[in-house]
Amino acid sequence: MTTANQSLKPITTKINENGHLEIGGCDVVSLAEKYGTPLYVFDEETIRTIACQYKKAFNNYPKVSMLYASKAFMTKAIVRILDEEGFGFDMVSGGEIYTAYKAGGNMKKSLFNGNNKSYDELQMAVEFGVGLVSVDNFLELALLNDVAKSNNKVVDILLRVTPGIECHTHEYIQTGHLDSKFGFDLTQVDEAVELIIDEYKNLNLIGLHAHIGSQIFETSIYYDEVNVLLKEMGRLKEKYGLNLTHINLGGGLGIKYTDKDCPPSIDEIAEKIISSIKENAPKYNVESPEIHIEPGRSIIGTSGVTLYTVGSSKQVPKGKKYVAVDGGMADNPRPSLYQAVYTAEVANRPEDEKTETVTIAGRFCESGDILIKDVKMPVLEEGDILCFYDTGAYGYSMSSNYNRVLKPAAVLVNNSQSDIIIDREDYEHLVSLDRIPARLEK
């Protein structure tokens, strides 16, 4: 069975009677006219469908918690939707904790993750009732124990470990191999456990956490990840008498950015995870654990698109033709950062024949500000609206004000209705945190 992460477009995408792209019942060209461009557009039906597909895929396993990986894209509206779908939140900063809390997300079902949490962020997590903290290093063990003790609480924790599994993804988004900034090496686990048992009385270790990477197309590594964690649980049980009850497997399932991409379905990775538990838990003499899954990109990536307006163009003599749009690397840094490849269509005339090869360039003052290289498109004209698919993850969340350009707005579409979920910045907002020292005042 296919799942929506295997779709190139939001599931509501179609061409309407005006000959325009339509998403969520909303004419994409009309959205551009109403809200301006660049514009992030998120399809609520796709978000909810993928969330339901995750829950359904694990229906046959009784102990599962779904945690949305907030770093992919987080706003109060997205928190509200996924909270309604029964998700908790995997959060990696005070800002993400605060957003989930202000939106009414279920904090008890949520997890605070990250490799360099501050004392103040740990204090916020404890104060706001975050249910679990994934501890990444020895300093954090000490800090969190101090925070918990000062609040007269015992905090449930996971130890994040590097399982030594290397997936075939981009070097910058591999997190499970041994040479990684994240987590305890397996050779360091005993020292951490002994500190918890002997000194850190305000920490309650309930399980292990690992994350093997992002944009993963392999399924067998999920089986292997479970096996490594269960084996470690069995070893800790035998050596220390610890009966750990939870494993957090991270997320990382890939999505379809181009027609060449063939990510596995949610059902395929669920089958690997569940079969590994059934086969390996008895082998290591441990109970079948509660599992945490942290989907981010695979929920929000396919659900979001970005709209741009075509501006100038340049034909290099005997070279490329460049077509510039009104956004670029500040609203989507992934092509520059990861060499990510996207698919785009002309929203106002998607059925026109693709007759020329162009390179879509951004508006920012960097030669590397290229969104798509050498792509077949209809002859593009000033004012055309381009729709870039699968930009829901890591577009806005990694965006910047480079060149002092304003960050775009974001809208949520559903049942022919569109609603702003992030306001477009204005110039007053842009300078609102600037300060001029008194000695420089005129």
pLDDT in tens, 250-303: 999 999 999 999 999 999 999 999 999 999 999 999 999 999 999 999 999 999
Q: Which of 181, 135, 179 is nearest to 160 (CA)?
A: 135
- Catalytic site residue from 26, 52, 262, 365: 365
- Please tell me the least confidently modeled range out of 163-172, 237-246, 261-270, 307-316: 163-172
Residue 437 lies in a domain: no
**281 plus 294 within the same structural domain:** yes
For residue 306, the SS3 value is: strand
Residues 308-324: tens digit of each pLDDT = 999 999 999 989 999 99
**341 plus 354 within the same structural domain:** yes
Q: Domain span at residue 296?
A: 44-300
Q: How many domains does the chain have?
A: 2
Q: Is the peptide bond before 289 cis (omega within 30 degrees of 0)?
A: no
Q: Residues of the chain with pLDDT > 90: what percent?
A: 93
**135 plus 212 within the same structural domain:** yes
**203 plus 233 within the same structural domain:** yes
**291 plus 312 within the same structural domain:** no
Q: What is the pLDDT of residue 377?
A: 97
pLDDT over threshold 90, residue 168: no
Residue 442 lies in a domain: no
Amino acid type, 366: E
Residue 438 lies in a domain: no
Q: What is the pLDDT of residue 71?
A: 97
Q: What is the pLDDT of residue 165?
A: 72
Q: What is the pLDDT of residue 172?
A: 34
pTM over 0.75? The answer is: yes
Banded pLDDT at 33 (limits 50, 70, 90) = very high
Q: What is the pLDDT of residue 160?
A: 96
- CATH assignment of the domain containing 280: 3.20.20.10
Q: Which of 199, 107, 184, 111 is nearest to 149 (CA)?
A: 199
For residue 188, the SS3 value is: helix
Banded pLDDT at 306 (limits 50, 70, 90) = very high
* Residue for token pair 């497997």: 249
**22 plus 171 within the same structural domain:** no
**307 plus 293 within the same structural domain:** no
Whether 365 is catalytic: yes
Residue 328 lies in a domain: yes
Residue 380 lies in a domain: yes
Banded pLDDT at 166 (limits 50, 70, 90) = low
- The answer to whether 391 touches 332, Cβ cutoff 8 Å, is yes
Domain boundary among 251, 283, 300: 300
Residue 286 lies in a domain: yes
The pLDDT of 319-335, averaged and rounded, is 97
Residues 366-421: tens digit of each pLDDT = 999 999 999 999 999 999 999 999 999 999 999 999 999 999 999 999 999 999 99
The pLDDT of 134-145, averaged and rounded, is 97
**353 plus 363 within the same structural domain:** yes
Q: What is the pLDDT of residue 388?
A: 98
- Please tell me the least confidently modeled range out of 210-219, 235-244, 276-285, 403-412: 210-219
- Please tell me the least confidently modeled range out of 72-86, 141-155, 207-221: 207-221
pLDDT over threshold 60, residue 170: no
Domain boundary among 300, 322, 351: 300
pLDDT over threshold 50, residue 173: no
- The answer to whether 213 touches 170, Cβ cutoff 8 Å, is no
- The answer to whether 268 touches 279, Cβ cutoff 8 Å, is no
**379 plus 422 within the same structural domain:** yes
CA–CA gap between residue 14 and residue 28 (Å, rounded)? 10
Banded pLDDT at 169 (limits 50, 70, 90) = very low
- CATH assignment of the domain containing 380: 2.40.37.10
**309 plus 370 within the same structural domain:** yes
276 φ/ψ angles, rounded to the nearest 5 degrees: -65, -40
**71 plus 14 within the same structural domain:** no
Which residues, 6+ apart, have CB-to-CB distance to 53 below 8 Å?
3, 4, 266, 267
CA–CA gap between residue 87 and residue 109 (Å, rounded)? 8
The pLDDT of 167-191, averaged and rounded, is 64
Residue 441 lies in a domain: no
Q: What is the pLDDT of residue 180?
A: 63
Q: What b/e string do you get for 317-354 counting C-beta neighbours within 10 Å, with b at 16 or more? A: eeeebebbbbbbbbbbbbbbebebbbbbbbbbbbeeee
**226 plus 139 within the same structural domain:** yes
